[in-house]
Amino acid sequence: MAIMGFLAVANAYTMRVCLNIAITQMVRRHAPSSAYEEGSCPAEVEEALSDTSEISGYNWDEETQGIILSAFYYGYIVTHLPGGMLAERFGGKYSLGFGVLSTAVFTLLTPWTVNIGGATGLIILRVLEGLGEGTTFPALNAMLARWAPVSERGRMGSLVFGGAQIGNIAGTYLSGLVIKETGDWESVFYLFGSIGILWFILWALLCYNDPESHPYISDKEKKYLEEALGRHRNSQPSAIPWKAIFMSVPLWALVCAQIGHDYGYFTMVTDLPKYMTGVLKFDIHRTGTLAALPYIVMWISSIIFGWLCDKIVKRQWMTVTNARKTFTTIASVGPGICMILASYSGCNTETVVILFTASMGLMGAFYPGMKVNALDLSSNYAGTIMAIVNGIGAITGIIAPFLVGLLTPDSTLVQWRLVFWITLAVFIVTNLVFVAWASGDEQWWNSTPQEARKQTEASGSVNTEVKTQA
- pLDDT, tens digit only, all 470 positions of the chain: 889 999 999 999 999 888 877 877 787 655 444 444 455 566 654 443 334 434 457 887 766 777 787 788 888 888 888 887 788 778 888 889 999 999 999 999 999 999 998 889 999 999 999 999 988 888 888 888 888 887 787 778 778 887 887 888 888 788 878 887 888 889 999 999 999 999 999 999 998 888 888 888 888 888 888 877 765 554 455 577 888 888 889 999 999 999 998 898 888 876 676 677 667 766 555 666 677 788 888 888 888 898 898 889 888 898 888 999 999 999 999 999 999 998 888 788 888 888 888 998 998 888 888 887 888 888 778 777 878 888 888 888 788 877 877 787 777 788 888 989 999 999 999 999 999 998 888 888 887 555 545 544 544 444 445 455 55
Residue 111 lies in a domain: yes
Residues 142 and 272 in one domain: no
Same-domain pairing of 176 and 295: no
Q: Is there a domain that residue 68 lies in?
A: yes
DSSP code for 39: T
Residue after which a domain boundary falls, among 189, 211, 233: 211
Q: How far apart are CA 274 and CA 269, in angstroms?
A: 10
130 and 202 inside one domain = yes
Alpha-carbon span 138 to 388, nearest angstrom: 9
Residue 17's nearest CA partner among 135, 140, 119, 103 is: 103
Residue 133 lies in a domain: yes
- Residue 49 pLDDT: 36
The rounded distance, in Å, linking the Cα atoms of 199 and 194 is 9
pLDDT at 437 (0 to 100): 92
Residue 218 lies in a domain: no
Has residue 221 been placed in a domain? no
**Tell me, what's the pLDDT at 251?**
92
Nearest to 342 by CA among 271, 396, 246: 271
- 387 and 433 in a single domain? The answer is yes
Residues 6+ apart with CB under 8 A from 177: none
Residue 459 contacts by C-beta under 8 Å, 6 or more apart in sequence? none
Residue 360's closest CA among 405, 290, 299, 421?
299
At 58 the three-state DSSP class reads strand
CA distance linking residue 433 with residue 445, whole number of Å: 22
What domain count does the chain have? 2
pLDDT number for residue 267? 82
Within 10 A of 465 (CB to CB), how many other CB atoms are there? 10
> Is 235 within a domain?
no
Nearby residues of 449 by Cβ (< 8 Å), 6 or more positions away: 238
Confidence at residue 366, expressed as pLDDT on a 0 to 100 scale: 87
Question: Domain check: are 418 and 307 in the same one?
Answer: yes
User: Domain range holding 109?
Assistant: 1-29+58-211
The CB-based long-range contact list for 309-317 (8 Å cut-off, 24+ gap) reads 309/154, 309/368, 309/369, 310/151, 310/152, 310/153, 310/154, 310/155, 310/368, 313/150, 313/151, 313/154, 314/151
Say whether both 4 and 86 belong to one domain: yes
Angle between helices 62-78 and 80-90 (to 10 degrees): 30
Q: Are residues 144 and 85 part of one domain?
A: yes
